[in-house]
Structures are given as C-alpha cells and as structure tokens.
Structure 1
Amino acid sequence: MPETVLTADGRVAGRRARATRQRLLTRLTEMLATSPYRDITVIDVARRAGTSPATFYQYFPDIEAAVLTIAAEMAEAGRQLRPLVEDQPWTGKSGYETAQLLVDGFLEFWRDNEAVLRVVDLATIEGDERFHTLRVRMLNNVVTALAAVIGEMQERGRVAEGVHPEAMAGALVGMLAHNAAHQRGYESWEIGVGNLRESMAQLVFWAVSGKRPPR
C-alpha cells in the first residue's frame, strides 16, 4: 500500500498528485547537483517539472521544506548500511571482506546522494537542528550495530578492555562518512579511491576485530 501523502491543506493526495509531487522532488534533486540550494527558486523547480509554482505550493511551503523531504527519504535509505555490519563475520579473511563491503557501502551511498548530503552537511554545520537530526538518524543505525559487534569482540577477549565500544563505533562511522564525502579531494592529492578504500577497510577491521588485517 503506498504511503499516505498530504497536500498543504491536509487533503490526501491521489495517485496523480503523488506523481506530481515526486516529479517536483526529482527535479529539485537534479538541480541540487548543479546549484546551491539557496539559489534555487520555486519558479525554477516548477518550470523544470513542467508545472506551476501554485502546484508546488500545494505540497511544500518553500524550497527548504522540499529539501528536508528529500533529505528525510535519503536518511531512511541509509538504513541499508546497517545490514553490512549485523550478522556478518568479523574475523579472518571473511571479516576483512566485511570491512571492505562496509566501506564500499559508504562510498557508494555518498556518491549516489552527493548533492543532498552536501546540503545536509552544510545545514548541520550552520546549526540547523532539523538537518542535524536527520544526519544523526542516518548514521546512528551503523554506530549502534558496530558498537554491538565491538562489544561482543571485547567479551571474547579480542578487543582490549579499555576500548569504549560506542565511542570507537562513533569514531569509525565519522571517519567513513567524512572520507566518503571527500572522495574527490583525495584524488586531487593523487590518492586513488582504491587506496582510500583499502586504508579505511584496514582501520575498520583492526578496530572491530582487534587484529591486523590478513595478508
């Protein structure tokens, strides 16, 4: 059953209205890839979507509200990163492959959502609690999953007693998110994404398993 979508006046949107709303969000997402979101106007989005500003206002009060909707959908999609941690092997060669897949998941997610994530990061830095909450929600799924794995490894004597599982998990996820967001910057330093990937996988595996990566 499709998710219930309400118009600005509280009415339930029908199939055609939902399609129009989604078209507006899709065109706005495309525009975010080439323009600062504060430079984008309702008229621009409506024109790109083949509709009118009045139609835009039936669904969103302003551009920022539409961007928040896109960001919320992206944060929900970020749940796909959690299964890369849970119920996966974290020792030996298989464990290192798990670390590589987690890194790949972050790199791919950031590439696929680069424009929206750039807006979320900027708004978070500027102190917008709405965007900050979405960012925390998106990353917290991975933090809690990694913390549970590190805690389990600690109980098995593989990770040192002095390690704080939640803090270590937060540090790892912060590292993954930051580096995934700056992939192009590394290339300007003549550091290939492949080298960045392996370096992050080694750090993740070492921190989670308590062992050096297998050769």
Structure 2
Amino acid sequence: MTGQVRTVDGRVAGRRGQATRQKLLDCLGEMLNSSPYRDVRVIDVARKAGTSPATFYQYFPDVEGAVLELAESMARDSASLSELVAGRSWAGRSGRQAAEDLVEGFLSFWRKNDAILRVVDLGAAEGDKRFHKIRTRILNSVANPLADSVKDLQAKGRGVDPDVSAPAVAGSLVAMLAAAASQQKGFQSSGVKQSELRPSLALLVHLGVTGRKPAK
C-alpha cells in the first residue's frame, strides 16, 4: 500500500508507531533550530520525544537517517515553489507581480525550513550525494519553470538575448535567491531591512527574465 511507514527491520508501523515516528521527527526538527547538527544525539531526541533510544532505532538507523527523512519531506513540499513561476505572465505589471511573488515565496520557504536547509547545504558541500540530490531538487523546482519562462519570452522576440542560455539565466537567478535567502539574518545584522531586500531581489529577477526593469 502506498504511504506505508516501515520500521528499520521492514515491519509496517501501525497508527501508534507512525505517531511516535512523527513525534521523533518533529522533536529533531525543533532541536536543529537551536543546536548544531553534529551535536544532536539520539538519546537527546528520544528524551525530548518522551521515549527511549531503542524506540528511535526502530524507525531510524541514526540521527543522519532521520535528518534525511526531514529533508525528503521538505523537498516534496518544495514542489509548490514551481507554482510561483509556472504559467505566470511576465508582461507589464503582471511581470512585476510575478517577480515579487517568487521572491516572497522563496524567502518564506527558506525561513520556514532554515534549520534543515542548513544541514542539507552542509551535507551537499561535504560531497554527500544524498544531500546534494535533495538540494538540487529544491532549486530545480524553481529553476526549471523559470527557464521555461525565459525560453518562452525569447521565442516571442522578447526578454533576454536569444543567444543567452535560458537554463543558465534561470540557474543563476535561483542561486542568487538561495544565497540571499540563507543570509537573511546576516543581512539584518548588516543593516539591510527585509523591506529593502525583497524589492531589490525582485528587480534582479525581473531583469534576468525579461531583460527589462519592471513596470511601475
């Protein structure tokens, strides 16, 4: 049956077991908000969830395995980011709104998942292919439809120069958004307000996609 939750040894978890497993994941997610990934121990997660390490090991091989479950869940949720771009008009004021919606949605997604995204970035940077694959899925949920938008404008004789690679433009814009999103707290400490950051990013996105400043 699709959606079955299994224990490490392959048994199908019942409703109570699924609830325990989810509580362990929820507690781990909370701990990642306040503790470095490498410092989180199985016994601490189990204690926070009100259960034992033995129970934890019924569902996950180790902390990293549980983190990967959280990351996979987040990657599935990132599919909704595609809706911020797919099918949107980039003409006139609609284009301005599309750019603003993309920036707002992207930054909000990053803030909501900041703790697990930091772990994903760390794993990817260290060469772990599992984390790299998850990070790529998340970024591609925006990069792919964004590239389609650039191609569509190029085909109509609008947007950026037709000799420019649409995937390269889209990938560059998404990399910029990811870098900015991961540094939101850093921007604030440097005196850059969120109210200033969003329109600046939206301007750059609009310029990248259309080759023009957004309509007022």
Q: Does the alignment reach a TM-score above 0.5?
A: yes
Match of 1:107 in 2: 107
SS of the equivalent of 1:153 reads helix
Gaps of 5+ in 2: none
2:208 paired with 1:207: yes
Match of 1:91 in 2: 91
Report matched runs for 1:113-132 at 5 Å.
Answer: 113-132=113-132
* TM-score (normalizing by structure 1): 0.97
RMSD: 1.1
Match of 1:51 in 2: 51
- Separation in structure 1 between the aligned mates of residue 166 and residue 212 of structure 2, nearest angstrom: 16
Match of 1:74 in 2: 74
Measure how far apart 1:162 and its partner are: 2.2
Report matched runs for 1:1-215 at 5 Å.
Answer: 3-159=3-159, 160-215=161-216
- Separation in structure 2 between the aligned mates of residue 102 and residue 168 of structure 1, nearest angstrom: 15
Measure how far apart 1:214 and its partner are: 1.4
* TM-score (normalizing by structure 2): 0.97
Q: Percent identity?
A: 53
Gaps of 5+ in 1: none
SS of the equivalent of 1:38 reads helix
Measure how far apart 1:125 and its partner are: 1.0
- Give per-residue Cα distances to partners, 1:142-162, cap 9 Å, x unaligned: 111000110000011112122
Measure how far apart 1:2 and its partner are: 7.3
List structure 1 runs of 4+ shifted beyond 4 angstroms: none
- Give per-residue Cα distances to partners, 1:53-74, cap 9 Å, x unaligned: 1100000010000001101101
- Separation in structure 2 between the aligned mates of residue 18 and residue 161 of structure 1, nearest angstrom: 52
